[in-house]
A and B are shown apart, each in its own frame.
Chain A
Amino acid sequence: MSTLQLIGGGFATVLTPTGLFLMLIGVAVGIVFGALPGLSATMAIALFLPVTYAMASSDAMTLLMALFIGAISGGLISAILLHIPGTPSSVATCFDGHPLVKKGQAAKALGVGVVFSFLGTIFSTLLLMFIAPQIARAAINFGNFEFFSIAIFSLTMIATLSSGNMVKGIMAGVIGFMFSTVGTDAIEGTARFTFGQTTLKGGFDMLAVMVGLFAVGEIISAAETSRHSDEEVIQPSMKGVKGFGFSMKEFVGQLGNAFRSALIGMGIGILPGIGGGTSNMMAYTVAKNADKHAKELGPLGTGRIDGVVASETANNATIGGAMVPLLTLGIPGDTTTAMLLGALTLHGLTPGPLLFQNQANIVYGIFAAMLIASVIMLFMEFFGLRIFVKLLSIPKYILLPCVFVLCTIGAYALKNNMSQVIACLVFGALGFAFKKLEIPSTPFILGFILGPLAEVNYRRGMIRTKGSFVPFLTSPISAIFLAIAVIVLLVYIFKPLMKKKKA
């Protein structure tokens, strides 16, 4: 089948009355989750998973992608109006977004944010549609050596980059990996760390672990602060605003900045371990350094649309980037894509090169859903802004208990008994302890997910080579990934030492 036919098929899968309805709901709920500080894209997907259990897999993915896109974009609303990023992806949006509000240009800031969020998503989705099938075609020849090395590379990147403290990052990854070894061994079939408990034989459920760590852990730690935080919501004035609140000339002037930011966002999305939380900051910094109008307009950070454009284009472009390793290799780069991996697995789909061959309709359906959901997002955020702003004033002490009830239902529905609910609570407590001890939870989750991939491929590879590790180092692709992992580690180990010498 030609690519055009595949794309057409993708749109046909998604553009059903049910599909459209699900996307409308998904984008709306996503925006709310993105806008509310403390709720994230990961949590939105976690909460909606139980709703998708009974759905066809294409409908389920349509809904979840819409949630993802809505949530990443929704963060801009609170970043601009509250000066609090709704998600880590829109931290840099605050820098210029809020000064613009103070200048009385709230509508302009929001309009720019919404339009460039949209452009960022579209750009990265189109690039994804072009790149992903090529990578999948190459990856079809990957064997044990390559998958082991890619898993180790991803784990190293995540452990070092996602936290300030490398020791704690790697520690979190190792502990996650350890939790994945509980249950029946995939190769020998022997029980590991089950302590005679039958419930542990199947191992820990990926979704229970993630819902517990992120959603439940979040609620417990919110208990510490919820009695103090009081946020004033600024109601934007829409009087006399035409179109999106900015002129055509301003739009054209931002295109270069947007293109650069989109490339940064896309590139960072592809790399495992760093996601929207990094890309918006990096795009903002690059935009600030490349700025030519600092003299006449004042530097970035004083209320220039350039800052909002850089941050919002980059964070939404990260979505398309993050989907590349997830779909082509089955490797999630951050917690949100880890959730999506859980969702795909739940629906009996294994992301990886074979998905492109056997379930092309699902893959192209996901692409189509991303494109349509971003159009829906554009209109919804523009016309429904007042409603979303109203929702920002719902206090956390009402919202979080309701979120917890939904988590409980989701965990219960996994096995239709309380076992996963209890697991969820245990991992929630662990998440809270992690927060207190400043251990990042992202490497834990990815260690838990990528660990088995690394282990199985290592052992199968060793059986094939009769106990020699050399082929892992001589197979070119495997060697490249292992080399990068080692270099990243060395750089992180020696960087502080170099600094000390200079001082």
Chain B
Amino acid sequence: MSFKKCKDLILGIVMLLFSGFYLFYAQQIKTRPKLTPSYASAKIMPTLLGILLAVLSIICIIQGYRKMTSPDTQSDSSKKLDKGDVMAVVYTFAVIIGYILIMPTLGFILSTLLYLFLQMIILAPPEKRNYALFAIVTVVFTAFVFVAFRIGLQQLLPRGIIESLLGF
């Protein structure tokens, strides 16, 4: 079975679990009954929201189940994603997480140089990978952003090796 057909069913189940989790923690909220009456306590809205989401999830599960069991009326016309596209998303996530992890230690300049260059390679179609162009854009853009924000707008940015060498 394709992901597309059971998408709503999965969504409904995930949301039902989430509403259970949310409702459980909503009941843990400490209220101050002497200060505010129960009908206006900090618990009331989260409880209502949790119940509402649970109801919506059940509707979503029913709709999803019907869709899943109904015969294929509309053919899957949307383009199938090939492996390269899925990998591009995975790699993009990976470099973004990497970028955020290394920034506090390597500093803004070095981590941005690395991130921009790698991300452009990931996103560009293989036949259009112009490494020289990517390198130039990376350096020029990083320099521009650093000058504009750190010097122009006095915005603090994570410091690292290059920043210390430049004296910022």
Contacts and interface: CB of A to CB of B under 8 A. Distances in A.
Given A178-B49, A395-B128, A437-B7, A401 B25 contact: no
Interface string A374-407: 0000000000000000000001111011101110
Contacts of B124: 226-227, 395, 397-398
B141 A175 contact: no
A6 to B, nearest CB: 31
A192 B46 contact: yes
A64 to B, nearest CB: 16
Given A174-B56, A181-B45, A187-B36, A412 B85 contact: no
Given A190-B31, A226-B124, A175 B97 contact: no
B115 A188 contact: no
A167 B60 contact: yes
A408 interface: yes
Size category of the binding interface on chain A: 35 or more
A52 to B, nearest CB: 10
Instruction: Determine chain A's interface SS by DSSP, over half rule.
Output: helix
A223 B40 contact: no
Nearest to A394: B137
B123 interface: yes
A458 B112 CA distance: 46
A10 to B, nearest CB: 26
A220 B85 contact: no
Contact of A228 (B25, B41, B125): B125
Interface in B120-168: 120, 122-126, 128, 133-134, 137, 141-142, 145, 149, 153-158
A422 interface: yes
B158 A418 contact: yes
A401 B123 contact: yes
A54 B153 contact: yes
A347 interface: no
B52 interface: yes
Nearest to A178: B49
Interface in A71-94: none
Contact of A401 (B22, B97, B116, B126): B116
A43 interface: no
Size category of the binding interface on chain B: 35 or more
A405 B115 contact: yes
B68 to A, nearest CB: 15
Given A187-B36, A418-B100, A429-B93, A181 B46 contact: yes
Contact of B32 (A175, A188, A418, A421): A188
Interface centre among B31, B63, B93, B154 (most CB of A within 10 A): B93
Contacts, number: 181
A201 interface: no
A193 to B, nearest CB: 6
Given A170-B56, A439-B11, A224 B88 contact: yes
A421 B100 contact: yes
Contact of B93 (A193, A220, A408, A436): A220
Given A226-B88, A412-B157, A467-B37, A438 B116 contact: no
A418 B39 contact: no
A204 to B, nearest CB: 15
B103 A418 contact: yes
B158 A222 contact: no
Given A168-B60, A428-B96, 13 more contacts: A53-B155, A178-B50, A187-B42, A193-B29, A398-B120, A398-B124, A413-B156, A418-B103, A437-B7, A437-B10, A439-B11, A459-B45, A467-B40
25 contacts: A50-B153, A51-B153, A54-B153, A171-B15, A178-B49, A181-B46, A188-B31, A191-B29, A193-B26, A220-B89, A223-B92, A226-B123, A227-B84, A395-B128, A397-B120, A398-B124, A398-B133, A401-B116, A405-B115, A412-B157, A418-B100, A421-B103, A437-B11, A462-B40, A467-B39
